[in-house]
Chains A and B, each alone.
Chain A
């Protein structure tokens, strides 16, 4: 099965406002992804551009980015599942190679969220729900996750302090990540005393909007071995969808799309949750990371908070999670996020992480969620 590899992985710095155009932003990630590889842009057979389109004035960004990187006349097209767009791009790239259409495919994710004010961005995100039936009530992305948090607290006794401990951990690692937007260590008090955005979530329970890009280059196995000394093999892929409306959700204590994506990915990779050495999970909010522990099988349902309580998801714990600072520290440039998570895991498995390196990591997992639990994507890779 492991016949397709990631050969290159790059990202730009994630920032509140990058001061450059989307084409220039994408170049930064593309350059880092190609560094150290024995190929040039001429060897890339196709590019998949991933972002959430409502932030850009540019219509059809794929063509523009393809031109700037001189990837013409090779095919390019656009893929979107909001916050998990670049994981979906990776899935499509894998399929194109598997089908025999292409040998080398670049997956480029980006978002320049600073084009909009944060209220306008929140309004766009609210329209990422059901615009006839739910957005008119003033639904926001944090409000959706806040309802999951409240339900989890009511059913399992999870506390606001335990949510805050996720941010304590991720802020600790964010300090060491030069690509992160937020690089300040936060105390439990800092987090618990920050203003309530949408109860029970406070300012520091939430990740920040950001500008950024990522680039992942996939290659067919035989080609991969020729162009990279350290190909990272794709072992498992999972993807699933839940309802757009909150009214359609079967449960508010876990993300069904993530549970199903995880089941598929573990099955394809032939591994169990405890075989994973290092994971990147979609911590758009602190509660999201606790839900991820349970949805991925790192903890039983209702016991996710115990993992952070016991510091088991720190780099030296039994299941290191988001030791690059996570979305909470890096910032969350929607279309770029999945690729950034992959980059972190690739660096971990190559032993090249400049942040906290998990020694001897061989199997890595990426959990990337679009919207409030609408699109679930789990990717498992190995050295």
Chain B
């Protein structure tokens, strides 16, 4: 299986990094690292453009992230109408990567502060879909 059940609406399914989904279902959010040159990637890459190796390994994003920015989306595009309002956010992690995801619905808008600590966690969505989201530490 690939990305067909990822997020509210998925647009394409096949990828060499589809193992990401298997690991997400097992409770882990993973990134890739090149075994040859050490380059780390999120979104995960199956190939390393720095040294042209395709020998990459998975590692789990375990650190606390820092919120870089966010927006409350009140107007969802086609396919997302019933999700709105939702909060999109970008966070930076110690592993040298940034991740875009939604903030968990249990974080109230008044409690959001740029720079706040977050973790990234798998999130079950309706209809057996899956994604990841940011939670408060």
What residues of chain A have their CB less than 8 Å away from a CB belonging to chain B? 117, 119-120, 122-123, 125-127, 130-140, 142-143, 146-151, 154, 195-201, 245-249, 252
Contacts and interface: CB of A to CB of B under 8 A. Distances in A.
A195 B72 CA distance: 12
A247 B90 contact: yes
Contacts of A126: 77
The 10 A-B residue pairs with the shortest CB-CB distance, nearest first, are: A136-B7, A146-B71, A122-B77, A138-B80, A123-B77, A123-B78, A151-B69, A133-B43, A147-B69, A154-B114
Contacts, number: 122
Given A132-B12, A147-B69, A199-B72, A245 B43 contact: yes
B74 A247 contact: no
Contacts of A122: 75, 77-78
Interface string B81-101: 101101011100000011111
A138 B86 contact: yes
B15 A119 contact: no
18 contacts: A119-B76, A119-B78, A134-B100, A135-B9, A137-B8, A140-B75, A143-B71, A147-B71, A147-B90, A149-B71, A198-B72, A198-B73, A198-B74, A199-B71, A199-B74, A200-B71, A247-B100, A252-B90
A119 B12 CA distance: 20
The CB with the most chain A CB atoms within 10 A, among B73, B79, B101, is that of B73
A139 B88 contact: yes
B102 interface: yes
Contact of B3 (A132, A151, A197): A132
Interface of B: 3, 6-12, 15, 42-43, 68-81, 83-84, 86, 88-90, 97-102, 114-115, 131
Contacts of B69: 147-148, 150-151, 154, 252
Given A120-B78, A246-B100, A136 B10 contact: yes
A196 B75 CA distance: 9
Nearest to A250: B98
Contacts of B15: 132
Given A119-B81, A136-B8, A197 B74 contact: yes
A125 B77 CA distance: 9
A148 to B, nearest CB: 7
Given A120-B78, A143-B73, A136 B9 contact: yes
Contact of A132 (B8, B43, B81): B43
Nearest to B99: A247
A120 to B, nearest CB: 5
A245 B71 contact: no
Given A131-B11, A151-B68, A151-B114, A249 B98 contact: yes
Nearest to A120: B78
